[in-house]
């Protein structure tokens, strides 16, 4: 199990990309797979941050099982102790609307990963699970 925890703020998504790229390199992923993973995980983090607000944290859990890389991106809208959206999160939602990127993020994730599941769990914990089959390149 590999766990990354970042504040729910846009400036830290780049940190997640770097860590994911490092992990994928360690797993001997092909360069294209590394780039795909970076985009997919970052898009999931973007969504967690833009929809969830700036109160909480975003967790990225990675696990390798046989030839599969499991990645879960988990967030708590409004933070773990939800008290409504604060001013910062409202600003982020407005920016997102202006940027007109709604749903494109999920389209990208579905295209780049082999399996994707998005669920809202009890307590409003949101969890996006992605699976990438490893070792497909060069076979």
* Spatial contact of 130 and 109, defined as CB atoms under 8 Å apart: yes
- Unique residue bearing structure tokens 């959206």: 85
The Cβ-side half-sphere exposure at 50, using a 13 Å CA radius, reads: 19
Question: Binder to another protein among 100, 122, 123, 138 (CB under 8 A)?
Answer: 100
Nearer to another protein, 50 or 69 (CB): 50
Shortest Å, Cβ 24 to another protein = 14
Q: Rounded to the nearest 10 degrees, how much is the dihedral formed by the CA atoms of 109, 43, 14, 67? A: -30
The answer to whether residue 99 forms part of the interface with another protein (CB under 8 A) is: yes
* Spatial contact of 60 and 45, defined as CB atoms under 8 Å apart: yes
Angle CA 17–115–40, to nearest 5: 20
Nearer to another protein, 80 or 111 (CB): 111
Nearer to another protein, 67 or 104 (CB): 104
Helix (H) or strand (E) run with residue 72 in it? strand 68-75
- Other Cβ atoms less than 10 A from the Cβ of 44: the count is 31
| x-marked contacts with another protein along 28-47 as a string, rule CB under 8 A | ----x--x--xx--xx-xx-
Question: Binder to another protein among 19, 64, 101, 116 (CB under 8 A)?
Answer: 101
Q: Which one of the spans 74-82, 104-112, 117-125, 126-134 is the region binding another protein (CB under 8 A)?
A: 104-112
Q: Given the rule CB under 8 A, which residues bind another protein? A: 10-11, 13-14, 17, 32, 35, 38-39, 42-43, 45-46, 49-50, 95-96, 98-101, 104-105, 107-108, 111-112
């Amino acid at each position: 199990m590999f766990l990354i925890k970042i504040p729910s703020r846009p400036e830290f998504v780049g940190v997640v990309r770097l860590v994911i790229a490092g992990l994928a390199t360690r797993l001997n992923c092909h360069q294209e797979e590394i780039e795909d993973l970076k985009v997919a995980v970052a898009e999931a983090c973007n969504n967690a941050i833009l929809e969830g607000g700036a109160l909480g944290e975003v967790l990225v859990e990675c696990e390798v099982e046989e030839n599969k890389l499991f990645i879960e991106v988990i967030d708590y809208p409004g933070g773990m102790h939800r008290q409504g959206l604060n001013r910062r999160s409202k600003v982020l939602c407005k920016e997102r609307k202006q940027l007109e990127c709604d749903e494109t993020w999920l389209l990208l994730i579905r295209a780049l990963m082999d399996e994707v599941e998005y669920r809202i769990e009890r307590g409003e914990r949101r969890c996006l699970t992605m699976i990438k089959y490893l070792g497909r390149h060069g076979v």
